[in-house]
Structure 1
Amino acid sequence: MKQTTLLLTLLIFTVFGAKAQIETPVTWSYGFKKTSKTEAVIYLKATIQSGWHVYSQTVKPGGPVKTTITFAPSKEFTKVGATVEPKPIMKFEKVFDMTVGYFENSVIFQQKVKLNKPEALVKGTIEFMTCDDSRCLPPDEVNFSVQVK
């Protein structure tokens, strides 16, 4: 009985210890600003830990996974144009054998929307890849939801 309890306790600590070691160098926050009664801008902000970077939406095929923002279809709003990002840092990365654009510290992606109602729930997903100077984490995907009022 004591061996079973000890084994179970070790297993629990191993599981929780493994979960604590999962790296998450990027956190996301979301917001909006109404620009008129029928239009708003959705803000998707990545806060990136020092030493890490997130790739641009414009990375060419053959390189790292580019940031992809997908808005869920809705009758409450319509996207206006493409999702805008600031000018990325451009650098040749040996591992991909190409010049890629990325962001450090933080980046805010912006999407203009036309509101079909006075209030709209804007939802979607962000797929992104995070790397530092020596390694890349597997691509990650987060869901977002912004209640525009």
Structure 2
Amino acid sequence: MKKISLILAFVLFTVIGASAQIEKPVTWSYAAKKISKTEAVVYLKANMEEGWHIYSQNLKPGGPNKTVFSFASSKDYSPVGKTTEPKATTYFDENFKMNVSYFGNQVVFQQKVKLNKATATVKGTVEFMVCNDKQCLPPDEVSFNIPVK
């Protein structure tokens, strides 16, 4: 009887654990390209699973969480200007009663950096919110380290 109870408990916890897995519909990849001896561009690419999207950096307050890039302070490099993004898809969202801009499938953000030495590692975080037509997941934050050679 104890063996059966133990087996049933194990099966129950396995099923609960499998159903509680966290969805991660966005994957990030990074690259850098030197454009001169003292400047480079870092590329931050988000790939979304089909049906999912992340929001632009340029959203007004009162809507979904916008994408935010934060770069760590370093004596090796300094960001130049703001992180750029391609043209987003914009629509009026009935839930937020405002226009929202988003990217589906794939998007590449770019940040120019001034290099204070020949090589550097650009570090920071990206905070973003991902949604599909049925749900939004809580905002997520991902750290990045991008070598510039």
TM-score, normalized by the shorter chain, greater than 0.5:
yes
Alignment-derived partner of residue 125 in structure 1: 125
The total of aligned residue pairs comes to 147
Structure 2 matches for 1:30-41, cutoff 5 A? 30-41=30-41
Structure 2 matches for 1:26-65, cutoff 5 A? 26-65=26-65
Q: CA deviation at 1:60?
A: 0.3
Q: CA deviation at 1:16?
A: 4.0
Alignment-derived partner of residue 70 in structure 2: 70
Quote the sequence identity (%).
Answer: 57
Q: Tell me, what secondary structure is at the counterpart of 2:29?
A: strand
Structure 1 residues 10-40: Cα deviation after superposition (integer angstroms, max 9, x where no partner): 3244324422xx2221111000111011110
Alignment-derived partner of residue 109 in structure 1: 109
Alignment-derived partner of residue 15 in structure 1: 17
Q: Tell me, what secondary structure is at the counterpart of 1:110?
A: strand
Q: Distance in 2 between matches of 1:16 and 1:32?
A: 38
Give, as a single letter, the amino acid of the residue that structure 2 aligns with 1:119.
Answer: T
Give, as a single letter, the amino acid of the residue that structure 2 aligns with 1:105.
Answer: N
Question: Taking structure 1 as reference, are residues 134 and 14 closer, same or farther at Cα in structure 2, changes over 3 Å only?
Answer: closer
Q: CA deviation at 1:98?
A: 0.4
Q: CA deviation at 1:77?
A: 0.3
Q: Distance in 1 between matches of 2:7 and 2:133?
A: 43
Structure 2 matches for 1:133-148, cutoff 5 A? 133-148=133-148
| TM norm structure 1 | 0.92
Of 3, 6, 12 in structure 2, the residue corresponding to residue 4 of structure 1 is: 6
Q: Distance in 1 between matches of 2:145 and 2:15?
A: 34
Alignment-derived partner of residue 90 in structure 1: 90
Q: Distance in 2 between matches of 1:16 and 1:52?
A: 22
Give the gaps of 5 or more residues in structure 2: none
Q: Tell me, what secondary structure is at the counterpart of 1:23?
A: coil
Give, as a single letter, the amino acid of the residue that structure 2 aligns with 1:102.
Answer: Y
Question: Cα RMSD (Å) of the superposition?
Answer: 1.4
| TM norm structure 2 | 0.92
